[in-house]
Amino acid sequence: MKTLKHWTFETQSAHHVELNVDGQHSLCLYMLEEGMFRVLIKRKGELALDRTWSIAPAQDVPWEGRSREDLSGFTCPAWTLAQQDDHLTIATEKLRVTVHQPLWLEWHYRDETGEWQYLAGDRPTSAYLLNAHGDGVAHYLSRRKDERFYGLGEKAGNLQRTGKRYEMRNLDAMGYNAVSTDPLYKHIPFTITRRDDISMGLFYDNLSSCWLDLGNEIDNYHTAYRRWQAEAGDIDYYIFTGKRVLDVTKAFVRLTGKTLFGPKWSLGYSGSTMHYTDAPDAQNQLMNFIRLCEEHAIPCDSFQLSSGYTSINGKRYVFNWNYDKVPQPKVMTKAFHDAGLHLAANIKPCLLQDHPRYNEVAERGLFIRDSETNAPERSSFWDDEGSNLDFTNPDTIAWWQDGVTSQLLEMGIDSTWNDNNEFEVWDGEARCNGFGKEIAIKHIRPVMPLLMMRTSMEAQQRFAPEKRPYLISRSGCAGMQRYVQTWSGDNRTNWDTLRYNTRMGVGMSLSGLYNVGHDVAGFSGDKPDAELFLRWVQNGVMHPRFTIHSWNDDQTVNEPWMYPAITPAVRSAIELRYRLLPYLYTLLWQAHADDEPMLRATFLDHEHDAQTFEECDDFLLGRDILVASVVEPGQRQRRVWLPDNESGWYDFYTSEWFSGGQWVTLDAPLEKLPLLVRAGAGLPLSERITYVNAAKDDRRELRLFPLKGVGTTAGMLFEDDGESWGYKDGNALWLEWEMVCDGATINLNVNPHGDYVPAWKTLKVTLPAGEKRKLLVNGIEGSEWVF
Radius of gyration of the chain (CA): 27
Q: Is the pLDDT confidence value at 618 over 90? A: yes
What is the arithmetic mean of pLDDT over 195-217?
A: 98
Examine the fold and report which residue of 487, 517, 543 is the final residue of a domain before the chain moves on.
Answer: 487
Beta-carbon contacts of residue 284 (< 8 Å; ≥ 6 apart):
none
Q: Is the pLDDT confidence value at 609 over 90? A: yes
Domain count, the chain: 4
Residues 666 and 719 in one domain: no
pLDDT for the residue 183 = 98
Task: Give the C-alpha separation, 625 to 675, whole Å.
Answer: 7
Q: Is the pLDDT confidence value at 132 over 90? A: no
Let me know if residue 529 belongs to a domain: no
Residues 744 and 776 in one domain: yes
| pLDDT, tens digit (0-9, with 9 covering 90-100), for 668-679 | 999 999 999 999
User: One-letter amino acid identity for 733?
Assistant: L
Cβ atoms of 132 and 2 within 8 Å: the answer is yes
Neighbour order of strands in the sheet with 599-600: 599-600, 618-621, 625-628, 675-678, 649-651, 657-658
Which region holds residue 423: left if phi is over 0, alpha if psi is between -120 and 50, else beta? Answer: left
Examine the fold and report which residue of 437, 457, 487 is the final residue of a domain before the chain moves on.
Answer: 487
Residues 74 and 187 in one domain: yes
Task: Give the C-alpha separation, 561 to 510, whole Å.
Answer: 34
Q: Is the pLDDT confidence value at 458 over 90? A: yes
Residues 304 and 430 in one domain: yes
Q: Is the pLDDT confidence value at 787 over 90? A: no
pTM for the whole structure: 0.98
Let me know if residue 511 belongs to a domain: no
Inter-CA distances, 413 with 114, 268, 469, Å: 58, 17, 12
Let me know if residue 72 belongs to a domain: yes
Let me know if residue 373 belongs to a domain: yes
pLDDT for the residue 427 = 95
What is the arithmetic mean of pLDDT over 601-623?
A: 98
Task: Give the C-alpha separation, 436 to 434, whole Å.
Answer: 5
Let me know if residue 588 belongs to a domain: no
pLDDT for the residue 475 = 98
Beta-carbon contacts of residue 224 (< 8 Å; ≥ 6 apart):
142, 143, 144, 145, 215, 218
Task: Give the C-alpha separation, 11 to 56, whole Å.
Answer: 27
Which region holds residue 167: left if phi is over 0, alpha if psi is between -120 and 50, else beta? Answer: beta
Residues 661 and 751 in one domain: no
Residues 226 and 95 in one domain: yes
Q: Is the pLDDT confidence value at 422 over 90? A: yes
* Domain hosting residue 608, numbered range: 599-678
Let me know if residue 470 belongs to a domain: yes
Report angle CA 379, 385, 387 to the nearest 5 degrees: 60
Q: Which of 470, 638, 490, 640 is nearest to 552 (CA)?
A: 490
Residues 193 and 301 in one domain: no
What is the arithmetic mean of pLDDT over 158-169?
A: 98
Q: Is the pLDDT confidence value at 333 over 90? A: yes
Confidence of residue 53 (pLDDT cuts 50, 70, 90): very high
Task: Give the C-alpha separation, 503 to 431, whole Å.
Answer: 37
Residues 718 and 762 in one domain: yes
Let me know if residue 303 belongs to a domain: yes
Q: Is the pLDDT confidence value at 218 over 90? A: yes
Percent of the chain with pLDDT over 70: 100
What is the arithmetic mean of pLDDT over 46-52?
A: 97
What is the arithmetic mean of pLDDT over 322-339?
A: 98
pLDDT for the residue 383 = 86
Q: Is the pLDDT confidence value at 134 over 90? A: no
Q: Which of 289, 264, 332 is nearest to 560 (CA)?
A: 289
Inter-CA distances, 144 with 123, 507, 613, 762, 783, Å: 11, 22, 17, 56, 55
Examine the fold and report which residue of 650, 678, 706 is the final residue of a domain before the chain moves on.
Answer: 678
Residues 187 and 308 in one domain: no
Q: Is the pLDDT confidence value at 285 over 90? A: yes
pLDDT for the residue 85 = 83
Q: To the nearest whole number, what is the mean pLDDT of the chain?
A: 97
| pLDDT, tens digit (0-9, with 9 covering 90-100), for 688-738 | 999 999 999 999 999 999 999 999 999 999 999 999 999 999 999 999 999
Which region holds residue 382: left if phi is over 0, alpha if psi is between -120 and 50, else beta? Answer: left
Let me know if residue 115 belongs to a domain: yes
Residues 366 and 224 in one domain: no
DSSP string spanning 492-544? BSSHHHHHHHHHHHHHHHHTT--SEEEEET-SBSSPP-HHHHHHHHHHHTTSS
Q: What is the CATH number of the domain that holds 754?
A: 2.60.40.1180
Q: Is the pLDDT confidence value at 524 over 90? A: yes
Cβ atoms of 215 and 166 within 8 Å: the answer is no
Confidence of residue 133 (pLDDT cuts 50, 70, 90): confident
Residues 328 and 246 in one domain: no
CB atoms near residue 73 (< 10 Å): 15
Q: What is the CATH number of the domain that holds 60?
A: 2.60.40.1760
pLDDT for the residue 373 = 95
Residues 155 and 232 in one domain: yes
